[in-house]
Amino acid sequence: MNIEAFYASFDQRVREIVAFGYEHSPAFRQRMDSAGLTPSDIQTTADLSRLPILRKEQLVELQRQGPQLGGMLTVPLSRLRRIFQSPGPIYDPESDEPDPWRWAPAFRAAGFGPDDIVINCFGYHLTPAGVMFEEGARAVGCAVIPAGVGNQAQQIEVMAQLGVTAYAGLPSYLKTLLERAVEAGHDPRTWPLNKAFVAAEPLPPSLRALFEEQYGILVYDGYGTAETGNLGYNGPERQGWHLPEDALVQICDLNTGEPVPPGQTGEVVVTLFRRDYILIRFAVGDLSALMEPTTATVIQTPRLVGWLGRSGESVKVRGLFVHPRHIAEAMRRMTGLQAYQAVVVRENHRDELICRLVPTADADPAHLRDSAAQALHEALKLHCRVELVSDLPADAKPFVDLRTWD
């Protein structure tokens, strides 16, 4: 299917969700009215570009404006299966249906099936990631071990004793587990673990090669967000992310909001077709591009080239978005702090967030370090490395991303 035909195939679903949202979601009706639009104005996928894009900052404000997540929900909260919270804060409602985040096609493409035992090391609790990927693996028949993040010694014993065949989680976390297993006297090469599905952080070719050549683990990766679920995944060729057929993923110009042609970088804009929570023309904050059609692929949908950065100031660190504003707010509460700089680096295929602090002359350095570490963890849901330094350059930026993806 060529790209034009693929997007045209969404026309009827676009008409239906716009009409439904206009009638049942006060928040969406207000967006349409503010743009001077009625449902009759949106008859095709191409017509959607007439509706201004909804950004994360606006979504946060919308959800704060009264009940039903600011009028975005069309069902009572009690009709949902779960409600999560991602940084912002943004509430992420989960529909009460099988595989509501739509990851089954990604797991199926990665070779997961009824004979697999999956250790799921995506985060649980308030974040939707753990449940999101568990539901996808269950939908293709896998048994799932809900491991989450942490307790690595216990996770390694579980993998060895239960004959885990598949992994889901961050690629950096898989690397850490394998290395710790070797340190504990295990030989992961003798385990039945032979496949992995990873997401939420880049998978450099060198890291994929390490998994496959050193451990015999075939690795597939995918792309999605807490608000939207599955937005792309590897096919058998493992080159680029195939767009899903059950959500509309467009690459749009940052300024005009118009879809851009293949090969041109733009922001990822998503329209979901769920009727309990109206999310139409939502910019997730990432940059990507559609791949130029070349050779035929097993999966027929167009592909994204991969993750090309953030459209705003936020960056993704170990699968979570970090915004400089949240760091600044945490640092403003610190007493005894003269200056700070937060730096994101990539060490041994793992993201590290380092916060360098310059104490005042009368500060208690140990107390400042511990207080800052706790405040950053509460604000970002990440463990940060806090370092005390005597000074910083006069032109030091408060937030710097120094990562490379070689």
What DSSP string describes 234-262? --TT-SSEEPPSSEEEEEE-TTT--B--T
Q: How many whole angstroms separate alpha carbon 307 and alpha carbon 304?
A: 8
- Which tens digits make up the pLDDT trace of 242-260? 999 999 999 999 888 999 9
Give pLDDT tens digits for 326-347: 898 899 989 999 999 999 999 8
pLDDT digits (tens, 9 = 90+) for 195-219: 999 999 989 999 999 999 999 999 9
Burial of 118 (0-12, 13-18, 19+ CB in 10 A): buried
Per-residue confidence (pLDDT) for residue 323, from 0 to 100? 77
Q: Residue 270 pLDDT more than 80? A: yes
Cβ atoms of residues 3 and 45 within 8 Å: no
**Helical packing angle, 152-162 and 171-183, nearest 10°:** 80
Least-confidence region, from 150-159, 285-294, 358-367:
285-294
To the nearest whole number, what is the mean pLDDT of the chain?
Answer: 94
User: What would the pLDDT profile of 273-283 be if each residue is shown by its tens digit?
Assistant: 999 999 999 99
Distance, CA of 4 to chain centre: 27
pLDDT tens sequence across 2-41:
899 999 999 999 999 999 999 999 999 999 999 999 999 9
pLDDT at 326: 81
CATH of the domain spanning 1-73+241-310, picked from 3.20.20.150, 3.40.50.12780, 1.10.3720.10, 3.40.50.720: 3.40.50.12780
- Which pTM does this prediction carry? 0.84
Q: What would the DSSP string read from start to end of 143-161?
A: EEEE--SS-HHHHHHHHHH
Kindly list the distances between the CA atom of residue 335 and the CA atoms of 190, 329, 338, 356, 399, in Å, as whole numbers in the listed order: 53, 13, 9, 15, 20
E strands within 170-260?
Answer: 195-198, 218-225, 229-233, 241-242, 247-252
pLDDT at 381: 82
Interatomic CA distance for residues 290 and 3, integer angstroms? 9
- Give the confidence band of 296 by pLDDT, cuts at 50, 70, 90: confident
Hey, what's the torsion of the CAs at 127, 136, 145, 152, to 10 degrees? -50
pLDDT value at 406 more than 80: no
pLDDT grade, residue 118 (50/70/90)? very high
Could you check whether 101-220 and 313-399 share the same CATH topology?
Answer: no
Q: What is the pLDDT of residue 379?
A: 84
CA torsion sign for 380, 385, 391, 395 is negative
- How much is the average pLDDT of 261-272? 94
Q: Is 112 left (phi over 0), alpha (psi -120 to 50) or beta?
A: beta
- Please give the pLDDT value at position 279: 98
SS3 28: helix
Residue 351 — φ and ψ, nearest 5°?
-70, 140
pLDDT at 87: 84
CATH says 313-399 is which class? alpha beta
- Percent of the chain past pLDDT 70, that is, above it, reads 100
Query: How sure is the predictor about 349, in pLDDT bands with cuts at 50, 70 and 90?
Result: confident
Is domain 101-220 annotated with CATH 3.40.50.12780?
A: yes
Grouping H, G, I as helix, E, B as strand and the rest as coil, residue 365 is helix
Residue ranges per domain, the chain? 1-73+241-310, 101-220, 313-399
- Residues 75-116 pLDDT 10s: 999 999 999 998 888 999 999 999 999 999 999 999 999 999
